Amino acid sequence: MPRYRYKVRDVNGNVVRGRMVANDAKDLRRKLDEKNYFIIEYSAPGPGKGLAREIRLFKSKVTHKDLSVFCWQLYTMLDAGLTLVKALKIIEHQTRIPAFRSIINRVGRRIEEGSSFSDALREHRGTFSQFFVQMVSAGEVGGVLDDIIHKLAVYYENQDEVRNKIRSAMTYPVLLFTASVAVIIFLITYILPKFVSVFESIGARIPAVTKVLLMSGDFLKNNGLLVTGVLAGAVIFFWSYSRTPLGRYNIDQLKLTLPVVGDLHRKMAAAQFSQTLASLISGGIPILTALKVVTETIDNEVVVSAINEVAVRVGEGKTIAVPLEEVGIFPEMVVNMIRAGEETGALDKMLSKVAVFYEREIGQITETFTKMIEPLLIVFMTVVVGLIGVSIFIPMTDIMEALHR
């Protein structure tokens, strides 16, 4: 019998990794379910393991946009009456990402061999998330796979739209800041020294501000490798620290507490939580399972920890709103809307409204942040360049006065 590797969450929300002997994937899932484990991913060793690892290593990343296109294509074909296998074969030939095409091919072959769609997807967790798999599984059980695929298409389309808004809003400020720093370094390392050498040759007075800027430029010019090494070391240290559980938790905590940025991250997490939970509940996923799946889609360990705590309380018989209010991770509106949804039996609809509201809020915040940061960067560059200009103008003024005497 094959020995499977697995990654699961226990009843307390802790991640557990291990190995287990099982007859097949279904037998493994049954054994893990008996232990009250929530399956995140699993894999079996075999001849194709090395090849699969190689494909994962060199594959192009499948984005939310790619998944949205995949779901829209699949939904259209299923709605037109095509079989699942036939639809996957057509999509495979239309997909331009080689690794994604290979995955779709293997999913189709597994279905032809008798596997369910969700089980075939579960073998490619690097591409299809636990959320995706659970939704498809619910669609298969309820006989509404085409409707679920439609929900997934809309979900990933919305996620891609939100990310694009944030990315486009941040691109210009980053480019402007980079250009500003590059211009300033060029001025103090190359332009200013030329003027100073002329001033010194004719005995002009060099003011303190000019000397400070000149020393800064000399330091950067003479110690460029040292400065680059220190910056590279800082980046490597930060990256390594962010890969540790404590480091990632602390960084995620910082993201939530920073001015403006913290508010944006909280609302992004609220939108992600609400949209994902709404999709899962409307797909027929039990609330406790849905909460655990949501943690796989949230990219903030502080928020994940809070949702795990909420899941534990819900498992004890509480409603979602009460523990969610106690952890205090989301804005008050989220809690109030969830409470109203639980009382009226329309939780999925309320969550969808929350998601739409905060997606709109995210767009407004990013737009406001962009409008605010651009003039600040321009003022910063103007002040520094003006300071450099003054450091050159003062000695020139002294020279002109000396010539008129």
Determine whether 261 is exposed, middle or buried from the number of CB atoms within 10 Å of its CB (0-12, 13-18, 19+): middle
- Domain membership flag for residue 299: yes
Among 286, 249, 292, CA closest to 273:
292
Q: What is the pLDDT of residues 350-386, one digit of tens each?
A: 999 999 898 888 888 777 777 777 788 788 878 887 8
The pLDDT score that the predictor gives to residue 51 is 39
Domain extent at residue 243: 164-405
Q: What is the pLDDT of residues 148-201, one digit of tens each?
A: 999 899 888 888 888 887 777 778 778 888 888 888 888 888 888 887 787 777
- Rounded to whole angstroms, what are the CA distances from 329 to 323, 324, 355? 10, 7, 16
Residue recorded with tokens 């990933």: 156
Confidence of residue 39 (pLDDT cuts 50, 70, 90): low
Mean predicted confidence (pLDDT) in 229-243: 92
Pairwise CA distance, residues 277 & 271, whole Å: 10
- Domain membership flag for residue 154: no
30 and 172 belong to one structural domain: no
Residue 210 has pLDDT above 90, yes or no: no
- Domain membership flag for residue 267: yes
3-state secondary structure 76-97: HHHHCCCCHHHHHHHHHHHCCC
Residue 202 has pLDDT above 60, yes or no: yes
What percent of the chain is modeled with pLDDT above 90? 27
Q: What is the pLDDT of residues 303-320, one digit of tens each?
A: 999 999 999 999 988 899
- Domain membership flag for residue 88: no
What's the CATH code of the domain at 328? 1.20.81.30
The pLDDT score that the predictor gives to residue 252 is 92
Q: How many domains does the chain have?
A: 2
- The chain-wide mean pLDDT, for the chain, equals 83
Confidence of residue 11 (pLDDT cuts 50, 70, 90): low
Q: What is the pLDDT of residues 82-109, one digit of tens each?
A: 999 999 999 998 888 888 989 999 999 9
- To the question of pTM greater than 0.75 for the whole model, the response is no
Confidence of residue 284 (pLDDT cuts 50, 70, 90): confident
- Domain membership flag for residue 79: no
The pLDDT score that the predictor gives to residue 401 is 67
Amino acid of residue 304? V
The pLDDT score that the predictor gives to residue 49 is 44
- Domain membership flag for residue 121: no
- Per the CB < 8 A criterion, the answer to whether 156 and 71 are in contact is yes
Check residues 388 and 358 and name the one with the higher pLDDT.
358
Amino acid of residue 269? A
Among 164, 128, 67, CA closest to 359:
164
25 and 168 belong to one structural domain: no
- Domain membership flag for residue 147: no
Query: What single string gives the DSSP state of each residue in 270-310?
Result: HHHHHHHHHHHHHTT--HHHHHHHHTTT---HHHHHHHHHH
- Per the CB < 8 A criterion, the answer to whether 395 and 204 are in contact is yes
- Domain membership flag for residue 404: yes
